[in-house]
Amino acid sequence: MITLNGIGASPGTAEGTLFCYHRKVYAGPPRPIGTPAQERERFRAALRQADQQLRQLFLDTVSDADEECAKVFEIHRMMLEDQDYLQAVEDRISQGETGVEAAVEEVSRLFSSAFMAMDSAYMQARAADVQDVSARLLRILRGEEEKPLSLPYPVILAAEDLHPSETVQLDKKKLIAIVTAQGSRNSHTAILAKTMGIPAIVRLGDAVAEDMHGKHAAVDGNAGTLWIEPTDSICQMVHEKTMDLNERRQQLLQYKGKPSVTRDGISVHLFANVGAVEDCEAAVENDAEGAGLFRTEFQYLSASACPGEEELFRLYRAAVLAMQGKPITFRTLDIGADKQASYLELPHEENPAMGLRAVRLCLTRRDLLRTQLRALYRASAFGPISIMVPMIASVWEMQEIRKSAALIRRDLAADGTAFDPKVPLGAMIETPAAALLSDELTAECDFFSIGTNDLTQYTLAADRQNGAIHLFYDARHPAVLRLIRMTVENAAKAGIPVGICGDLAADLTMTDFFLSLGVASLSVPPSMVLPLRERVRSLTVGKKPQTPAEPSTQKEESI
- Binding residue positions for Mg(2+): 430, 454
Element at 72 (helix H, strand E)? helix 67-79
Its sign, for the CA torsion 525, 526, 528, 533, is positive
Residues tagged in the binding site annotation for phosphoenolpyruvate: 295, 331, 453-454, 464
Contacts with 506 (C-beta within 8 Å, 6 or more apart), sequence order: 522, 524, 525, 528, 532
Distance CA 200, CA 158 (A): 10
The closest alpha carbon to 138, from 107, 95, 114, 110, belongs to 107
Catalytic status, residue 445: no
The closest alpha carbon to 202, from 215, 211, 192, 189, belongs to 189
* β-pair type (448-450, 498-500): parallel
Catalytic status, residue 188: yes
Q: 247: how many CB neighbours lie within 10 A of its CB?
A: 10
Diameter over CA atoms, the chain: 77
SS3 of 3, please? strand
SS3 of 322, please? helix
- Asked if 92 and 104 touch (Cβ cutoff 8 Å), the reply is no
Give ∠ CA 13-19-23 in degrees, rounded to 5.
Answer: 120
* β-pair type (269-274, 385-389): unpaired
257: left (phi over 0), alpha (psi -120 to 50) or beta: left
Distance CA 505, CA 523 (A): 6
Distance CA 412, CA 400 (A): 19
Among 188, 280, 362, 445, the one annotated catalytic: 188
Distances (CA, A) of 235 to 13, 202, 414, 416: 10, 21, 70, 67
Contacts with 240 (C-beta within 8 Å, 6 or more apart), sequence order: none
Among 69, 280, 445, 501, the one annotated catalytic: 501
Torsion of CA 335, 341, 347, 353, to 10 degrees: 30
Distances (CA, A) of 542 to 34, 260, 312, 512, 533: 74, 16, 44, 9, 18
Instruction: Cite the active site residues.
Output: 188, 501
